[in-house]
Structure 1
Amino acid sequence: MTGLLPFSRRGIAAVLGGLLLLLAFDLPAAAKEQRVHGQGRLFKVTAAGVPPSHVFATMHATDPDVLHIPPPVARAFDASTRVLLELVTTPGIEARMAEAMLLPDGASLAEVAGPEIYAKLLRRAAVYGLPAKQVSRFRPWAAALIFSVPVSELNRTASGVMALDRSLQQAADARGKKVFGLETIDEQIALFSDMPEPEQIVSLGLTLDLNPNIDALFAEMKQAYIAGDLDKLHAMSLSMLGNNVDLVESFEKRFIEMRNRRMVERMARHVNQGGAFVAVGALHLSGENGILRLLEKRGYKITRVH
């Protein structure tokens, strides 16, 4: 269907956003838990004596509905003096990510993943128009990211459509706003590369099993995002992992809680100056260990705007 190289300069943006898709699928057994700050997409952060800042929940996607910016969000963005993103994307960063996705020379994903999972991988690769020689070079976590993204997302990215986070970065640059990253590319790569290989392979298998239904799953996730239902997004992320307690704990600690603490620590100085617009993935906002609650614990007042 498409000959897109997933690690090309344009395609890499979709892969960078694959984590949210990979870990946010809804299964029938999902139990929706009411969490602190579990509803909303835009929140005002008030600190004494400075203009307010805002935290905006993003979805790492190119879908037109996701790219639509509601008026309250646009006003908060326009009023900001600096924009904070999970990662500031540059061509050098894209190349670094592409390099990290590949196995060492001479290694093959067929040997790493085993015959059963690799056979599934080849079947899904054929649907995506990716040759076996190409996919055999990916590390397990990289293959999981690629097949967590619908073909439509990859095609839009290949045609030059930017994901929401990247479009916010471009808008900030165009208006002369200062742009800061809350994480480095090496930190984001380490989230995956430091995963034990057995966990990577299990995640790849789960992703390949879900991939035939990815369009419907993506649509359901998008609907929850647009509705600002952060509680549902959290339930979706955990239910995708099924009854694998180790994976659930690893996901919560590695991909959410550890990163939340790191990002709050780095955004604090900007919030203290006021006028910051913080855009991070929706899964990072809610819950007792979410970014919004961590900011409250530091003495900031959090108010839902949208």
Structure 2
Amino acid sequence: MKRLFTPLLLWLGLVSAAQAECTGQDLMPGLLPDDRAQVDAQLGTMPYAEGNHWIARKGDEVLHLVGTMHISDTRLDGPVSRLSPLMDDAALLLLEMTEADQKQMEKGILTDPSVFMLKGKTLPDMLSEEDWQALSAALDARGMPPFIGAQMQPWYVSMLLSVPSCMTELLQKKDGLDFRLEAAAQAQGVPTQSLEAYDTFFRLFDDIPMDTQLAMIRAALASPDTNEDLFETMLNSYFTERAAEGQIVLEVLGPRLTPLSAEENDAVNDFMNGALLKERNAAWIPVILDSLETTEGSVVAAFGAAHLAGVDGILSLLEKEGFTLERAPF
């Protein structure tokens, strides 16, 4: 549910639009009984596991929290029509990244793209011949010359591969829910603010062990059909307001659908759930609280839906700060 990685490549002109139609199938209905039991066990202990729109209140403070997805989809039309009126009374819209900060990031990357580049060995040096050939084919399918991908940080390549090639064209449209909510805010003259500096992602990835980064590539080298199924499962879980369940399903099925060992799979999931979710959630809370204290009127915070649920999710963290939470229509 994050928008940074593949769009960056699109901005740099390194990936061309793919025209193939996606044919992925939602994996949830076909879960085996043991898998379903494992998913349900984790869901049973997860607070705020459902819902894409919540209202947090504390005294006179009102905060709307909207879980977003960043890819274009006609199923967003309904949520956009229901959520855009929030801007009528909002004093501020918080986003993972505002349009202004996005432009600043684009300018910085075009000036110095070294943040994405390997220093020293290239990916063919670090992967087996079989994995490199599979990666080359996957890069070709996304319009990226393999000789360019060979020089890029493996974490970045893995994020590119995590989006099926048939989705690349949709990412170019830049009209996911966060984009549309920002447009609604701009139309109403509501100020916007980023929850974090635009280079936060880059700093988080600096500390990933290279073995884990390479495992992320291998995990993303599932067959195109499997990759599309995984992505469709994630999308459907979002639109049924069960994003947390969808993420758990992907983690449970991961060892079976990817070539990773159990240990490698755990290392990748630990990073995703730790650095990309838990650490960022904790860093966002002071920003959210400060925005409520310094503005008059309600605040809307829109960010990837994966950040909402769980004991380390934004909703639980706000509850610990004394807010009451109410699920609202999405």
Q: TM-score with structure 1 length normalisation? A: 0.83
Aligned position for 1:251? 272
- Give 2:175's aligned amino acid: M
Following the alignment from structure 2 to structure 1, what is the Cα–Cα distance between the partners of residues 242 and 121?
42
Q: TM-score with structure 2 length normalisation? A: 0.78
Gaps of 5+ in 2: 1-5, 17-26, 256-261
- The 3-state SS of whatever aligns with 2:312 is coil
Following the alignment from structure 1 to structure 2, what is the Cα–Cα distance between the partners of residues 9 and 75?
31
Structure 1 stretches of 4+ with a deviation exceeding 4 A read 10-14, 25-28, 104-107
Following the alignment from structure 1 to structure 2, what is the Cα–Cα distance between the partners of residues 210 and 101?
29
Classify 1:102/1:234 alpha carbon distance in 2 versus 1 (closer, same or farther; 3 Å). Answer: closer
Deviations 1:151-170 (A, max 9, x none): 23321333x44333233223
Following the alignment from structure 1 to structure 2, what is the Cα–Cα distance between the partners of residues 141 and 237?
19
Equivalences for 1:113-124 in 2 at 5 Å? 113-124=127-138
- The 3-state SS of whatever aligns with 1:31 is helix
Classify 1:231/1:128 alpha carbon distance in 2 versus 1 (closer, same or farther; 3 Å). Answer: closer
User: Given the alignment of the two structures, is residue 142 of structure 1 paired with residue 163 of structure 2, yes or no?
Assistant: no
- Give 1:102's aligned amino acid: F
Aligned position for 1:277? 300
Deviations 1:106-127 (A, max 9, x none): 7522123342321110121232
Greater radius of gyration (CA): 2
Aligned length: 291
Classify 1:10/1:133 alpha carbon distance in 2 versus 1 (closer, same or farther; 3 Å). Answer: closer
Instruction: Choose from 279, 287, 293 the match for 1:266.
Output: 287
- Give 2:63's aligned amino acid: S
User: Given the alignment of the two structures, is residue 219 of structure 1 paired with residue 232 of structure 2, yes or no?
Assistant: yes
The worse-fitting range, judged by mean Cα deviation, of 162-171 and 132-141 is 162-171
User: Given the alignment of the two structures, is residue 48 of structure 1 paired with residue 59 of structure 2, yes or no?
Assistant: yes
Superposed CA RMSD:
2.9
The worse-fitting range, judged by mean Cα deviation, of 178-187 and 212-221 is 212-221
Quote how far apart the aligned CAs of 1:147 are.
Answer: 1.1
Contact 1:6 1:146 in 2 (8 A): no
Deviations 1:72-94 (A, max 9, x none): 42332433121001122422213
Equivalences for 1:221-236 in 2 at 5 Å? 221-236=234-249
User: Given the alignment of the two structures, is residue 301 of structure 1 paired with residue 324 of structure 2, yes or no?
Assistant: yes
The worse-fitting range, judged by mean Cα deviation, of 281-290 and 65-74 is 65-74
Following the alignment from structure 1 to structure 2, what is the Cα–Cα distance between the partners of residues 292 and 105?
40
Following the alignment from structure 1 to structure 2, what is the Cα–Cα distance between the partners of residues 189 and 106?
19
The worse-fitting range, judged by mean Cα deviation, of 34-43 and 86-95 is 86-95
Gaps of 5+ in 1: 15-24
Following the alignment from structure 2 to structure 1, what is the Cα–Cα distance between the partners of residues 247 and 119?
38
Instruction: Choose from 124, 135, 145 the match for 1:110.
Output: 124
Aligned position for 1:31? 39
- Give 2:197's aligned amino acid: T
Aligned position for 1:289? 312
Quote how far apart the aligned CAs of 1:58 are.
Answer: 0.8
